[in-house]
Chains A and B, each alone.
Chain A
Amino acid sequence: DTEVTQTPKHLVMGMTNKKSLKCEQHMGHRAMYWYKQKAKKPPELMFVYSYEKLSINESVPSRFSPECPNSSLLNLHLHALQPEDSALYLCASRQGRGGSNYGYTFGSGTRLTVV
């Protein structure tokens, strides 16, 4: 299995809703990432998990809450989002930690619309 699987593929939620995005990989990668991508923009880093521990939070608002239950799973819990949070949310994984020289494997993303 050489894939990162993200669910759901599409999500529409109201500003008072609570929802979760899920990401799963079975490649034995120990670094996992959440990126946010707006239309015609590059991916922007949100969170980094290394060996199931949160190592980087890029000053993301608390309405986004990441969770790494185990080495294969990564969740992003969403609560009280704003319409400007509408974007493509990408999960990625990579072997090793830190300066390890491996490419990222991205999931196909969750396209989120906040209404």
Chain B
Amino acid sequence: GQQVMQIPQYQHVQEGEDFTTYCNSSTTLSNIQWYKQRPGGHPVFLIQLVKSGEVKKQKRLTFQFGEAKKNSSLHITATQTTDVGTYFCAGLMNSGYALNFGKGTSLLVTP
């Protein structure tokens, strides 16, 4: 199945700094989803991107889908301690029946 690569693996920032995680696929994606998992928690759906070049915003979070639909990014402006967690991108696999998760980026924010 398709492989979804995600970088960086870890990111440690000071509160107030910006953060970006990148996701790349070897094949064209029909869509891409983003999830957040807090330490000790479970993945929580953030957003889905479908259209080429799509940009969506959720407060301080900005999500982008590349023109070729092979890459995506999540940018957080002015991080807060509540942003701590692992952010996963995920693309559909098995003819669209299930999500294939990237390895995730663990974000640590220190006050």
> Which one of A41, A48, A104, A106 lies within 8 Å of B94 (CB-CB)?
A48
Contact A42 B98 (CB under 8 A): no
Please give, as numbers and ranges, the residues of chain A lying within 8 Å of B106 by CB-CB distance.
40
Chain A residue total in the interface (Cβ 8 A): 27
C-alpha spacing A108/B42, complex, angstroms: 5
Chain B residue total in the interface (Cβ 8 A): 28
Interface flag for A72 (CB, 8 Å): no
Residue of A nearest to B46 (CB): A103
Given contact pairs A42-B102, A99-B30, A101-B50, A106 touches B44 in the complex (Cβ within 8 A): yes
Taking the closest CB of chain B, its distance from the CB of A11, in whole angstroms, is 16
Interface flag for A83 (CB, 8 Å): no
Given contact pairs A90-B42, A90-B43, A104 touches B97 in the complex (Cβ within 8 A): no
Contact B43 A99 (CB under 8 A): no
Contact B43 A43 (CB under 8 A): yes
Contact B95 A99 (CB under 8 A): yes
Please give, as numbers and ranges, the residues of chain B lying within 8 Å of A20 by CB-CB distance.
none
26 A-B pairs in the complex with CB atoms less than 8 angstroms apart: A31-B97, A41-B103, A42-B88, A42-B101, A42-B103, A43-B88, A44-B101, A45-B99, A45-B100, A48-B97, A50-B97, A56-B94, A56-B97, A90-B43, A97-B97, A98-B95, A98-B97, A102-B48, A103-B45, A103-B46, A103-B47, A103-B48, A104-B45, A106-B43, A106-B45, A107-B42
Q: Residues of A with Cβ closer than 8 Å to B? A: 31, 33, 40-45, 48, 50, 55-56, 88, 90, 97-109
Q: A33-B98, A99-B96, A104-B33 are known contacts; what are 20 more A-B pairs with Cβ within 8 Å?
A: A42-B102, A43-B43, A43-B101, A45-B93, A50-B97, A55-B97, A56-B94, A56-B98, A88-B42, A90-B43, A98-B95, A98-B96, A99-B95, A101-B31, A101-B48, A103-B45, A103-B47, A103-B48, A106-B42, A106-B44
